[in-house]
Structure 1
Amino acid sequence: MQFTSFHALISSLIFLCYWLIIVATTLRIVFKRRPTTYVIAWMLVIYILPLVGVILYFALGEAHLGQQRVKRAQKMRPTITKFINKLSVFQDIFTDKVSQVSKPIFQLCKHQTGLDGIKGNHIELLSNTDAIFDRLIADINQATSNIEMVFYIWNKGGRADEVEEALIQASKRGVTCRLMLDSAGSRNFIRSNASKKMRDAGITVIEVLKVNLFRFMFRRLDLRQHRKVAIIDNYISYTGSMNIVDPRFFKQNKHVGEWVDVMVRMSGPVTTLMGAIYTSDWELETGDYLALPQITDFAEQPEEKKHIMQLIASGPGYTENMIHQVLLTAIYAAQEQIIFTTPYLVPSDDILHAVCTAAQRGVEVIIIVPKKNDSLMVKWASRAFFSELLEGGVKLYQFNDNLLHTKSVLIDKQLSLVGTVNLDMRSLWLNFEITTVIDDAEFARSLAILLQTYLNNSDIVNIEEWEKRPIWQHVVERLFYFFAPLL
């Protein structure tokens, strides 16, 4: 009888502890004040998968950097503030004279970073894989002092091997080469002989945000370094959607065709700001101080209205929700037309409502997504948004043949946003990302021509035909919709 009572007591205590854990985790999610869909999705996971859901939440639900990185981020802030104050002294590279549609974004950037628009830059939109590799390799071959790179994916094969060889030769002639690669995205390359060969040549290769089960107790496991950046001699820089991969040798087993990307090549004062972002990432990851770029001389005299820019960096340790705020501001500022390209369409509720509202107030809103996608979950989750977008007056296009990986926004044929950000929750709230904000009609024309080629190779989604899809597709879409905030 005593044994039965003891067993009942232990069972009751276990049950009580279980519910206390569930309640405590639920309250933690609610008090984080995240979007409603995010809260509902995680609560479903926790209540459908008891204990397992709690473990998943603490591993994947919060964008915590880990104690070490938080301390490093706090330590860096005074240095970055001092750098920005020093940079702002050079008034001839800054301007607040921007176009009407761009003004709200640049005002937001000024409030968040303390810097006006940066003028006097020279920018080139590169949309052909070979052209991107040609320009990047040529710049590496001409480097005289330093090369810094950070990429989500580095994949061996084809022209990516030429970049590797160019870096090795640069290092041998005395150029300092530093390379940060995301642990998950570049896992195979980091452990390859090619990576060892680069290290042996004197190139510093850092594995960023290392992935293993032990580390989830100290930081979020799926936090990713998603930036794609190259900086040469502190003057030329690149960013955009392309990793160091030759699409002819990358994920061919996924049967989605070749990845279609763009990069922006920049020379001028904006690269100084890019260098500061890289320096912050380096210290955040390694704990080592890397000298900030010099602010003294620019190779060319700044021009009054040439390529006015800002860089928006996001991720833990940076201004929270900055890219999300910029996207919303751009959407609400649009008066005539918005064109998005994104490989992964899982927008926040705020962005979903903003684009539908824009369409309903007479703005032509076009979203181009790939017909084939390398992520099954994202493919079905994104389709759950199609009906609401179409009913809201948004024009949806599906890109044929290859996987459209370009991440861009074009507003009123004047304001361009090009970078690494997807229209999904991971890019908007979690990953380390970077976006260029470009206020320039000439650059916008180049981007508009490229986007038109995408549209020419795309099929429009007709709302009547879309609503006739089989009922099982509705069910699958709604199922994955609940997990959209987690993707």
Structure 2
Amino acid sequence: MLIQGLAVAHALMVLVFSTRILLRDNLSSAARLAWFLVMLFAPYVGVVVYLLFGEVSLGHTVHKRHDEIFTKLRLAAGPAMGSCDRNLSGQVEIEYQTAFRAAAVDGFGTTLGNHAELLPDAATARARLIQDIDNAKESVQCLYYIWLDDNTGKNVAAALIRAARRGVVCHAVADGLGSRVFVRSKYWQEMRDAGVNLTVALPIKWVVDTILFSRIDLRNHRKITVIDSRVTWCGSQNCADPEFLVKAKYGPWVDIMLRLEGPVVTQCQLLFASDWLLNSGEEVPTTKTMIANEINGGFPAQLFADGPTERHGATPQMFATLLTLAKREVVISTPYFVPNQTVLDAMCAAAIRGVEVIMVVPKRNDSWIVAAASRSYYRQLLEHGVKIFEFRNGLLHAKTFTVDRSLSLIGSTNMDLRSFDLNYENDILLRDNEVTQAIYQRQSQYISQSDCVTIDDVLAWSYTHRIWNNIVATVGPIL
């Protein structure tokens, strides 16, 4: 009788969760099949794993709050959101207009009259950012996925404390998982005591409270800094030293940062305001009145901000659009490469039609899962003509995408399923030859410090190596 009862309970459990998986209309076929395999071969473990990691949602309440916040911001910001006019006021070439339309998430459109400076290295970028905070007169807003208590983390905290003490309105957000140690540190408390407004993005308790409807590893992966509604920083660098001591054996982390001025700054400030409102429930007062002015001779730029409360598939669609637009060359750098079928097909299709598609990834990755899954795609990419380079000198953490040395996308987004489906990300799409050429030159430096991977290299891998890579890639859609 006991055995029969357990068998019935087992069957009901598998049936309930299989039905739940089948009811998810936006789940890819690969992910659905992967979950069925987990439920079939390890049902009890599979149920627990599914409850923790199965569904890409923060719950109905959070989605509703997100929609209400952006409705409010769009009404308050008006023209500051940018233009979604399909003609883009004649300021963007017809062939690139599709990219800017694809980047329109939550109502952010194209802004004109922007300027950017590419910083030469991480140390210079962080020094300039702290200088900007020290020169702030009205406001500072910053958000980091990872904020460590190393030299960089402490120096930024100290700069915010100095700013708050001289009357600058400062707001800071740190992700509840990526910065879990820092938000419990004395530096976080010292900032609070000095008058810096603080909140934690996606605190672990909040996500666990919605465990039946959410993955516990949905994170805010953004890196946003806005000073006086006039300057913003965008790129891959967290609030941490390049040595990244928590994973020192993979260092140094090699990052890239742009310092921008112009109306795109206001878009970044509005995005920060949305994150602040979503996580704290309080308004950021400076966003009500301050709008960055256009710069004469500046270029078109647009914020691309994706996340689990946005349109499903926005990021892979954006990457596929950029690959489709390319006529001559695409250069991509990403630390984590686990594409979905949309991106994989777009890369192969671009290479087949004669576009030189170049991808640069780290030779040693801090995630063994990503490393294995990434290499499972090498043979297919190489056979279609994609060129792959593995960076030797540390963990290449820069997330860059240049098209024909004319169009650039730069920010926090990796080319992997986490960035596609799970993380809140922020990037800037810009159309400018000079800035794109500077980013391309940086990409060329990465390539010069990399080993070229050939089809012969991949075919020389052992059967065990190849089987392992493909096993990991098989469960990749549910990781």
Query: Which residue pairs with 2:395 in the alignment?
Result: 403
8 Å contact 1:149–1:229 — kept in the other structure? Answer: yes
Cα distance in structure 1, aligned partners of 2:153 and 2:70:
35
Per-residue displacement from partner, 1:339-393 (whole Å, max 9, x unpaired)? 1100011000111111011101100000000001111111111111111111111
Cα distance in structure 2, aligned partners of 1:399 and 1:472:
24
Cα distance in structure 1, aligned partners of 2:347 and 2:439:
20
Per-residue displacement from partner, 1:427-474 (whole Å, max 9, x unpaired)? 011110111101111111101111111111011001112211122111
8 Å contact 1:118–1:309 — kept in the other structure? Answer: yes
Helix, strand or coil at the partner of 1:187:
coil
Cα distance in structure 1, aligned partners of 2:289 and 2:283:
18
- Could you tell me which of 113, 118, 123 is aligned with 1:120? 113
The Cα shift of 1:163 comes to 1.4
Residue 19 of structure 1 pairs with residue 5 of structure 2: no
Cα distance in structure 1, aligned partners of 2:110 and 2:412:
20
8 Å contact 1:356–1:392 — kept in the other structure? Answer: yes
Cα distance in structure 2, aligned partners of 1:226 and 1:166:
22
Query: Which residue pairs with 1:201 in the alignment?
Result: 194
After superposition, the Cα gap between the structure-2 partners of 1:478 and 1:90, relative to the gap in structure 1 and judged at 3 Å, is closer
- Could you tell me which of 136, 153, 161 is aligned with 1:168? 161
8 Å contact 1:84–1:115 — kept in the other structure? Answer: no
Cα distance in structure 2, aligned partners of 1:311 and 1:126:
20
TM-score normalized by the length of structure 2: 0.93
8 Å contact 1:256–1:401 — kept in the other structure? Answer: no
Query: Which residue pairs with 1:390 in the alignment?
Result: 382
The Cα shift of 1:16 comes to 3.0
Query: Which residue pairs with 2:42 in the alignment?
Result: 49
Percent pairwise identity:
33
1:363-374 equivalences under 5 Å are 363-374=355-366
Query: Which residue pairs with 2:91 in the alignment?
Result: 97
- Could you tell me which of 49, 62, 82 is aligned with 2:75? 82
Paired residue type of 1:386: Y
Cα distance in structure 2, aligned partners of 1:198 and 1:275:
21
Considering only aligned residues, what root-mean-square deviation do their CA atoms show, in Å? 2.2
Residue 483 of structure 1 pairs with residue 475 of structure 2: yes
8 Å contact 2:111–2:300 — kept in the other structure? Answer: yes
Query: Which residue pairs with 1:191 in the alignment?
Result: 184
8 Å contact 2:70–2:274 — kept in the other structure? Answer: no
Cα distance in structure 1, aligned partners of 2:340 and 2:374:
11
40-49 or 66-75, larger mean C-alpha shift: 66-75
Per-residue displacement from partner, 1:76-115 (whole Å, max 9, x unpaired)? 24313313545369999x74421344221123345x5555
1:218-367 equivalences under 5 Å are 219-253=214-248, 255-291=249-285, 293-294=287-288, 298-299=292-293, 301-303=294-296, 306-367=298-359
Cα distance in structure 2, aligned partners of 1:357 and 1:199:
52
After superposition, the Cα gap between the structure-2 partners of 1:469 and 1:249, relative to the gap in structure 1 and judged at 3 Å, is closer
After superposition, the Cα gap between the structure-2 partners of 1:90 and 1:398, relative to the gap in structure 1 and judged at 3 Å, is closer
Where does the alignment leave 5 or more consecutive residues of structure 2 unmatched?
A: none
Helix, strand or coil at the partner of 1:242:
coil
Q: Runs ≥4 in structure 1, deviation > 6 angstroms? A: 88-92
Paired residue type of 1:176: V
Where does the alignment leave 5 or more consecutive residues of structure 1 unmatched?
A: 1-6
Paired residue type of 1:172: R
Of the two, which has the highest radius of gyration? Answer: 1
8 Å contact 2:74–2:107 — kept in the other structure? Answer: no
Cα distance in structure 1, aligned partners of 2:73 and 2:192:
29
Residue 448 of structure 1 pairs with residue 440 of structure 2: yes
After superposition, the Cα gap between the structure-2 partners of 1:275 and 1:89, relative to the gap in structure 1 and judged at 3 Å, is closer
TM-score normalized by the length of structure 1: 0.92
8 Å contact 2:376–2:470 — kept in the other structure? Answer: yes
